[in-house]
């Protein structure tokens, strides 16, 4: 039964992923639609970060926020993303010690 559930999950995850490959093959877009689709990565980044980042340590939302602040400051220096990741992990680790 668990394998059946996993296969069901796989199908409902795969189908929404691949349908756009066929939709976008057929239609050519007006410029405003292009601008809309180009904005989606930035909107998604925002929605993925907040408010979820406050649940890193659920009882102490400010720890996640401070980790995010560290990542923001490191990223402002145009360093590789890895440094922002390591800096944020260290921040949270030190604050929860």
Partner 1 sequence: MGNIETAVNYSEEQTRYTAVKKGAVAGFPIFLGYLPIAIAYGVLAKQSGLTTFETTMMSVLVFAGAAQFMAANMMAQGALFLQIVVATFVLNFRHFVMSMSFMNKIRTLPLRWKFGLSLGLTDETFTVSSLNGEESKKQHGMYFFASLILVAYFSWVFGSFLGAIIGDALPTTLSDSMGIALYAMFIGLLVPSVKKEWRVGIIAIAAMLINYILMEQVGLEVGWAIVVSTILASFLGIMLLKEEEA
**Residues 19-58 contacting partner 1, CB under 8 A:** 19-25, 29, 31-32, 34-53, 56-57
Smallest gap, in angstroms, from Cβ of residue 60 to partner 1?
Answer: 10
HEC sequence for the chain: CHHHHHHHHHHHHHHHHHHHHHHHHHCCCCHHHHHHHHHHHHHHHHHHHCCHHHHCCCCCHHHHHHHHHHHHHHHHCCCCHHHHHHHHHHHHHHHHC
**Residues 64-93 contacting partner 1, CB under 8 A:** 64, 67-68, 70-72, 74-76, 78, 80-85, 87-93
Q: Site size for partner 1, by CB under 8 A? A: 73
Smallest gap, in angstroms, from Cβ of residue 47 to partner 1?
Answer: 4
Residue 59 touching partner 1 (CB under 8 A): no
């Amino acid at each position: 039964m668990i394998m059946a559930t996993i296969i069901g999950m796989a199908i409902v995850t795969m189908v929404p992923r691949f349908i756009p490959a066929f939709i976008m093959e057929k239609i050519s877009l007006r410029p405003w639609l292009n601008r809309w689709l180009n904005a989606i990565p930035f909107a998604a980044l925002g929605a993925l970060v907040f408010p979820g980042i406050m649940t890193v340590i659920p009882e102490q939302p400010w720890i996640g926020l401070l980790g995010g602040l560290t990542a923001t400051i490191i990223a402002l220096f145009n360093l590789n993303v890895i440094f922002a990741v390591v800096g944020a992990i260290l921040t949270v680790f030190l604050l929860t010690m």
